[in-house]
Structure 1
Amino acid sequence: MRLPTTASSLILLVSAGTPRAAAAGPPLTDHRNCGCYLTNGTESRYFSHHYFFDFRSQSQYAGVPTAIASADLSGSAPRTSKYFSNSEFANTWIVGNWDNSARQRKDATVRMHMSPNNIYIEANNDKGRKPETWLTLRTQRMENFQTAAELETMYFNKFVSVRMMARTIGAPGAISALFTYKHSNVLAEVQESDFEVRTRDPDNIVHYTNQPGVTTEGETDPLATTNATLPDGLKWTDWAVHRLDWTPERSTWFVNGRQVAQNAYQTPRDPSKVILNLWSDGGKWSGNMSVTDAAYLQIQWFEMVFNTTDVNFKPSSHAANDPLVCEAVCSIDETPNQGQPVMLWNNAAVRVVERRSFTGWIPVLVLGMFAWR
Structure 2
Amino acid sequence: MRLRSASFRAALLSLAFLFPAANAECECGFKMNDTRDYFTHVIYNNFSAFTPTKTVSSNPDFYRHWVIQRWGIPPQNWATPLPIDNQLDNVYIQDGNLVLKQEGYSKEAILSGHNVSVASIASQSGDIIHGSFRIELKMEGATGGSVAGFFWYHDDQNEIDIEILAKEFKPDSVLVHYTTHPALDESGVLVKNATEVIPLRGDDPASSFQAHRFDWTGEELRFYQNSRLVHANALRVPQVPGYVYMNLWADGGPWSGTPSTTDVFMSVKTIAIYHNTSASEEGIDKAFNLRCEKAGGPSNITVCLDTSIESGNLDPSSVASVITPVQVWAVVLFWVTFGVAVSFV
Could you say whether these structures have the same fold, taking a TM-score greater than 0.5 normalized by the shorter chain as the test? yes
- 2:167 aligned residue (200, 216, 225): 200
- 1:313 Cα deviation (Å)? 8.1
CA distance in 2 between partners of 1:106 and 1:176 (Å)? 21
Pairing 1:205-284 to 2, within 5 Å after superposition: 205-215=175-185, 219-230=189-200, 235-284=205-254
* One-letter amino acid of the counterpart of residue 48, structure 1: T
User: In the alignment, which residue of structure 1 is the partner of 2:130?
Assistant: 159
Is 2:15 aligned against 1:52? no
- 1:105 Cα deviation (Å)? 6.6
Cα-to-partner distance string for 1:210-237 (whole Å, 9 max, x where unaligned): 0223456655434211111225667243
Q: Which moved more, 1:138-147 or 1:211-220?
A: 211-220
CA distance in 2 between partners of 1:113 and 1:329 (Å)? 42
- 1:136 aligned residue (77, 99, 105): 99
Is 2:312 aligned against 1:337? yes
Pairing 1:347-366 to 2, within 5 Å after superposition: none
Fraction of identical pairs, as percent: 24
Is 2:272 aligned against 1:303? yes
- 1:141 Cα deviation (Å)? 4.1
* One-letter amino acid of the counterpart of residue 57, structure 2: F
The secondary structure found in structure 1 opposite 2:278 is: coil
Is 2:86 aligned against 1:119? no
The answer to whether the Cα contact below 8 Å between 1:241 and 1:255 also exists between their aligned partners in 2 is: yes
- 1:194 Cα deviation (Å)? 1.1
The answer to whether the Cα contact below 8 Å between 2:308 and 2:314 also exists between their aligned partners in 1 is: no
- 1:29 Cα deviation (Å)? 6.8
The answer to whether the Cα contact below 8 Å between 1:166 and 1:240 also exists between their aligned partners in 2 is: yes
* One-letter amino acid of the counterpart of residue 315, structure 2: Q
Pairing 1:306-325 to 2, within 5 Å after superposition: 306-309=275-278, 311-312=280-281
- 1:166 Cα deviation (Å)? 1.2
CA distance 1:153–1:251, shift in 2 (3 Å): same
CA distance 1:262–1:285, shift in 2 (3 Å): same
CA distance 1:218–1:211, shift in 2 (3 Å): same
Is 2:53 aligned against 1:40? no
- 1:310 Cα deviation (Å)? 6.2
* One-letter amino acid of the counterpart of residue 102, structure 2: T
TM-score, length basis structure 2: 0.72
CA distance in 2 between partners of 1:338 and 1:262 (Å)? 30
* One-letter amino acid of the counterpart of residue 61, structure 1: P
Q: Which runs of 5+ in 2 are unaligned?
A: 1-17, 284-288, 317-322, 331-345
CA distance in 1 between partners of 2:243 and 2:119 (Å)? 16
The secondary structure found in structure 1 opposite 2:307 is: coil
The answer to whether the Cα contact below 8 Å between 1:109 and 1:283 also exists between their aligned partners in 2 is: yes
* One-letter amino acid of the counterpart of residue 44, structure 2: F
Is 2:67 aligned against 1:94? yes
CA distance in 2 between partners of 1:194 and 1:284 (Å)? 18
The answer to whether the Cα contact below 8 Å between 2:139 and 2:264 also exists between their aligned partners in 1 is: yes
* One-letter amino acid of the counterpart of residue 139, structure 1: Q
CA distance in 1 between partners of 2:244 and 2:90 (Å)? 19
- 1:192 Cα deviation (Å)? 0.7
Cα-to-partner distance string for 1:310-360 (whole Å, 9 max, x where unaligned): 64589xxxxx99x9996232112245326636xxxxxx95985699xxxxx
TM-score, length basis structure 1: 0.67
Cα-to-partner distance string for 1:151-180 (whole Å, 9 max, x where unaligned): 111112111212122111122311101100
- 1:191 aligned residue (153, 158, 171): 158
The secondary structure found in structure 2 opposite 1:61 is: coil
The answer to whether the Cα contact below 8 Å between 2:57 and 2:67 also exists between their aligned partners in 1 is: no
Cα-to-partner distance string for 1:74-114 (whole Å, 9 max, x where unaligned): xxxxxx43x43133322321211111128x47611111111
- 1:15 Cα deviation (Å)? 6.6
Structure exhibiting the larger radius of gyration computed from Cα positions: 1
The answer to whether the Cα contact below 8 Å between 1:91 and 1:154 also exists between their aligned partners in 2 is: yes
